[in-house]
Amino acid sequence: MKKNDAFQGYDPNGDFCEIFGPADGKQPQNALAKKLSKYNIRTLNQRNRAAERELHNLGITFTVYSDSGAIDRILPFDPIPRQIGQADWKVLEKGCQQRVQALNEFLADVYGKQKIFKDKIIPKALVTGNKNFRKEMVGVKLPHNTYTHISGVDLIRDEHGEFLVLEDNCRSPSGVSYVIENRHLMMRSFPDLMEGVKVMPVSDYGKRLKGTLIETAPARYQNPNVALLTPGVFNSAYFEHVFLAREMGVPLVEGRDLVVDEEDRVYMKTISGLERIHMIYRRIDDAFLDPEVFRKDSMLGAPGLMRSLKAGKVAIANAVGAGVADDKAVYAYMPRIIEYYLGEEPILNNVETWICREAEALAYVLDNLEDLVVKPVGESGGYGIVIGPMATKAELAAVRREIKKNPSNYIAQPMIRLSVSPTLTKAGLRPRHVDLRPFVLTGKEPWVLPGGLTRVAMREGSLVVNSSQGGGSKDTWVMR
Amino acid sequence: MLLSRFADNAFWMGRYMERAESLARLLMVTESFAADQESDEAWAPILQVFADAEAFAERDKPLTALNVARFYLSDAANANSVIYAATMAKENARSLRHLLSTESWRQVSLFQKSVAALQKRRFALSKMSEICADIRDGSCTLRGVLDATCYRDEVWRFQQLGAALERADQSTRLIDIKYFRFDREDDDEAAPPDVAWWNTLLRSASGYHAFQRRYSFNADPADAARFLICDKHLPLSVTNAVEAACTQLASLDEDFDARPGPFVARAAEALRERLAAPPARLSGRTLHRYLDQIQREIIALANALDDRYFSPA
């Protein structure tokens, strides 16, 4: 490497690198790497600051509310794209389709005939006793049996370069607006980096989403009216709601804009009176959707939505109760669920998972606690996770007691070294850990957006990519 | 069809944008006179025109030019301040974002940010006219961006409607700043504002040169009042603003199937008739009362709009 090379001092240190491959492998000739190495680090940093300023001005932000008013923050942006080769992508695409198809069949079954319990593939109590299971949905038929219309599959890549599923998201996975806006930003701010590279486009997501929603509206309506239901401007994902409503050209409604009449029809209040709604893409939780059925104190939903749903006069995406499928307890059974419904081997493996409610697995977990990551089921957002190699003796002892007391409440996984991707720092390009969330739309068939949200842990050595803990994002290039 | 809530947001986005700019013009006029008089008294009338004397007193600060100026520029708790208006314009726009052009949101944001930056600055009175001119320019830029990029749908109509009504209202206040006192005094002709004051007012309403072209060189203050209230072609005149509002109402009726209905139509017609028939003598108490009647009719129209479009049963 010559002096001033942007990669000077770059060392993945044993981790799998998204540009250079496995640590022990040969460094392939990579066109992007070649291009990047010609840049001056100061220029890159300058342009990146300008790009971040533009994100702020364009309002591609999440909003934090405090006593002193609304503060608009951006998700830190890293201009060095994460690349996925076409061959890798083909596998990811098929794997995500297969997984989401299985999730939908599973949901249709647990809210339908419940064959999977009779065949003893998964314990019934684990599903119907889950807090995200909605008994109100049992026996309700949905168009095309689609429950999770919009899904996010959280993937990580281990030190050998294998993509593994870390988590499924079947409720309201967010982040797709960043996938598209990051691409727009790259095209505006780093056109030279994109010159001559063949990247699959992501910009027709809005059109696809609208198509999916129209396809899954109650079949009796020829030209269904679609609306996006948001909790409002105070929601941290409000920009994404704006973005999606804009891309689809549909109204962004709040619960207070809706009324359900005595014949179970849903309307919105317009300047010319009431107008019918047939399909709702909701970005609020089940619990707040309909105070007639769920939380009585909800101001975010509209009374009567469940009545209308059951009468087949409105459809709701994602389906009420879809969250039961993305629970950590169910996740552990996903390989068996895929095999049961599709008769296929999973294309994408789970991270190896020990289900503590099973005696053999429990014994292994208790013996190897200090090497494992222990996760309580029924929680999300990293809550209650104990990372063995980083925990104190007292923490390990405490979690051991908890697991023994209630084994069904825990799963355990090995600690995975996430892959790294070159990331811009003041000192130059440095390896930082990344994950990947592709988005899957399901009407009749699942479709995967060629790209995804790459989150990056901006701090050196950190494995936590969450935005609440200093994570940022990158543009994700699926190469043609 | 547009949600009532969005119509409301668009209307208020328009009103608040216009209010921020009008306040800046009003502060400019006051400042240029206060500079001559070398006294803080020149600033007291603003507090009365906006009925803010009490709110200002609550701040427990001496009535100095700088304190009043800050109260109207950068006091976020004052509902009649530039910063409050700019922030409310942005918050209303936030609810509408998916219906606005991306360029509009960007500019609304930038405008609010530039005004908010004033809060952190300890500006001197000597900087006032520069600051106000910057605010006016920022607001004009914002209007230009909206005009150049917004789709002419119902959102646009309501936003323009709100801006027009606010402009009409604020223009009456701008004139009334020297006339509201006639309400209390017996003498109709107690020291009427001089030609210099009217000239400043005309300049702040961007109407000085047009007025010179339109009227002979020995025009008197009543002509200036007539020009600022009744001229059809001056953008900031009350009549021009009200006509602009009526154009939007007609478009909502004809192009968007959102008929204003009898109450809105009646209120709009009353306002138009009032403007078409000004009193013969536009000065002193007569002028103040006339402005007062116009303001009441603007409020009546705004209430009728609220009942018809924004607060559906």
CB of B253 within 8 Å of any CB in chain A?
A: no
Tell me which amino acid residue B5 is: R
Between positions 206 and 245 of B, the ones with CB within 8 A of A are none
pLDDT tens track of chain A, all 480 residues?
455 578 888 999 889 999 888 876 555 678 888 888 888 889 899 999 999 998 888 888 887 777 767 777 888 899 999 999 999 999 999 999 999 999 999 999 999 999 999 999 999 999 999 889 999 999 999 999 999 999 999 999 999 999 999 999 999 899 999 999 999 999 998 998 888 889 999 999 999 999 999 999 999 999 999 999 999 998 889 999 999 999 999 999 999 999 999 999 999 999 999 999 999 999 999 999 999 999 999 889 999 999 999 999 999 999 999 999 998 889 999 999 999 999 999 999 999 999 999 999 999 999 999 999 999 887 665 678 898 998 999 999 999 999 999 998 999 999 988 999 999 998 899 999 999 999 999 999 999 999 999 999 998 888 888 777 778 999 999 999
Contacts of residue A219, defined as CB under 8 A and 6 or more positions apart, other chains included, come to A143
Contacts A275 to B, Cβ<8 Å: 1
Contacts A233 to B, Cβ<8 Å: 91, 94-95
Q: B56 φ, ψ to 5°? A: -65, -40
Which stretches of chain B score pLDDT less than 70?
A: 35-39, 183-192, 217-218, 313
Query: What pLDDT, on the 0 to 100 scale, is given for residue B193?
Result: 72
Cβ within 8 Å, pair B154-A271: yes
Cβ within 8 Å, pair B98-A246: yes
- Contact B301/B295 with Cβ under 8 angstroms? no
CATH of the domain at A383: 3.30.1490.270
Residues A305 and A361 in one domain: no
CB atoms within 10 A of CB B85: 26
Which DSSP category does B217 fall into?
A: T
pLDDT digits (tens, 9 = 90+) for B220-234: 888 999 999 999 999
Contacts A254 to B, Cβ<8 Å: 5
CB atoms within 10 A of CB B232: 9
Which DSSP category does B118 fall into?
A: G
CA-based nearest residue to A361, from A411, A402, A399:
A411
Cβ within 8 Å, pair B258-A268: no
Residues A226 and A308 in one domain: yes
Contacts B309 to A, Cβ<8 Å: 271
CB of A236 within 8 Å of any CB in chain B?
A: no
Whether the complex's predicted ipTM surpasses the cut of 0.90: no
CA-based nearest residue to B173, from B12, B51, B39, B291:
B291
Q: Which two tokens stand for residue A191?
A: 């056109």
Residues A370 and A287 in one domain: no
Q: How far does B137 lie from chain A, in Å, by closest CA? A: 19
CB of B94 within 8 Å of any CB in chain A?
A: yes
CATH of the domain at A274: 3.40.50.11290
Tokens 């979690």 locate to A399
Partner residue opposite A271 with nearest CB, options B7, B91, B110: B7
Find the residue in B nearest to A277 (Cα): B1
- Contact A141/A422 with Cβ under 8 angstroms? no
Find the residue in B nearest to A68 (Cα): B76
What is the C-alpha to C-alpha distance for residues A367 and A370, in angstroms, rounded to an integer? 8
Q: Quick check: helix, strand or coil at residue B113?
A: helix
Q: Is residue A296 part of a domain?
A: yes
Of A412, A432, A457, the one marking the end of a domain is: A412
Query: What pLDDT, on the 0 to 100 scale, is given for residue A448?
Result: 98
Cβ within 8 Å, pair B1-A246: no
Query: What pLDDT, on the 0 to 100 scale, is given for residue A1?
Result: 45
What is the C-alpha to C-alpha distance for residues A44 and B157, in angstroms, rounded to an integer? 44
Cβ within 8 Å, pair B3-A246: no
Q: State the best of A271, A274, A276, A277 to mutate against chain B, taking most chain B CBs within 10 Å.
A: A271
Contacts A69 to B, Cβ<8 Å: 76, 87
Q: Which domain holds residue A378?
A: 354-412
CB of B166 within 8 Å of any CB in chain A?
A: no
Q: Is residue A225 part of a domain?
A: yes
Contacts of residue B155, defined as CB under 8 A and 6 or more positions apart, other chains included, come to B2, B6, B7, B10, B96, B99, B100
Find the residue in A nearest to B103 (Cα): A58
Query: What pLDDT, on the 0 to 100 scale, is given for residue A5?
Result: 76
Q: Is residue A429 part of a domain?
A: no
In chain A, the N- to C-terminal Cα span, in Å, equals 29
- Beta strands A454-457 and A386-387 are unpaired
Tokens 């921020």 locate to B20
Cβ within 8 Å, pair A233-B94: yes
What is the C-alpha to C-alpha distance for residues A347 and A213, in angstroms, rounded to an integer? 27
- Contact A229/A280 with Cβ under 8 angstroms? yes
Q: Is residue A243 part of a domain?
A: yes
Q: How far does A258 lie from chain B, in Å, by closest CA? A: 10
The mean predicted confidence, pLDDT, of chain B is 90
Q: Is residue A142 part of a domain?
A: no
Q: How far does A274 lie from chain B, in Å, by closest CA? A: 9
Cβ within 8 Å, pair A271-B3: yes
**Which residues, in sequence order, are bridge partners of residue A64?**
A71
Of A364, A379, A412, the one marking the end of a domain is: A412
Q: What element of type H or E holds B231?
A: none
- Contact A148/A107 with Cβ under 8 angstroms? yes
- Contact B234/B205 with Cβ under 8 angstroms? yes
**Which residues, in sequence order, are bridge partners of residue A428?**
A425
Cβ within 8 Å, pair A59-B109: yes
CB of A69 within 8 Å of any CB in chain B?
A: yes
- CB contacts < 8 A, A to B, total 60
Domain ranges in chain B? 1-151, 152-313
Q: A59 φ, ψ to 5°? A: 75, 30
Which DSSP category does B190 fall into?
A: S
Residues A305 and A367 in one domain: no
Cβ within 8 Å, pair B258-A271: yes
Q: Quick check: helix, strand or coil at residue B172?
A: helix
Domain count, chain A: 2
Find the residue in A nearest to B256 (Cα): A272
Q: Is residue A369 part of a domain?
A: yes
CB of A235 within 8 Å of any CB in chain B?
A: no
Q: Is residue A291 part of a domain?
A: yes
pLDDT digits (tens, 9 = 90+) for B124-153: 888 888 999 999 999 999 999 999 999 999
Cβ within 8 Å, pair B105-A59: yes
Of A412, A442, A461, the one marking the end of a domain is: A412
Q: What secondary structure, in 3-state letters, does chain A show?
A: CCCCCCCCCCCCCCCCECCCECCCCCCCCCHHHHHHCCCCHHHHHHHHHHHHHHHHHHCCCEEEEECCEEEEECCCEEEEEEEECHHHHHHHHHHHHHHHHHHHHHHHHHCCCCHHHHCCCCCHHHHHCCCCCCHHHCCCCCHHHCCCCEEEEEEEECCCCCEEEEEEECCCCCCHHHHHHHHHHHHHHCHHHHCCCCECCCCCHHHHHHHHHHHCCCCCCCCCCEEEECCCCCCCCHHHHHHHHHHHCCCEECHHHEEECCCCCEEEEECCEEEEECEEEECCCHHHHCCCCCCCCCCCCCCCHHHHHHCCCCEEECCCCHHHHHCHHHHCCHHHHHHHHHCCCCCCEECCCEECCCHHHHHHHHHCHHHEEEEECCCCCCCCCEEHHHCCHHHHHHHHHHHHHCHHHEEEEECCCCCEEEEEECCEEEEEEECEECEEEECCCEEECCCCEEEEECCCCCCCCCHHHCEEEEEEEEEC
CB of B5 within 8 Å of any CB in chain A?
A: yes
- Contact B83/B73 with Cβ under 8 angstroms? yes
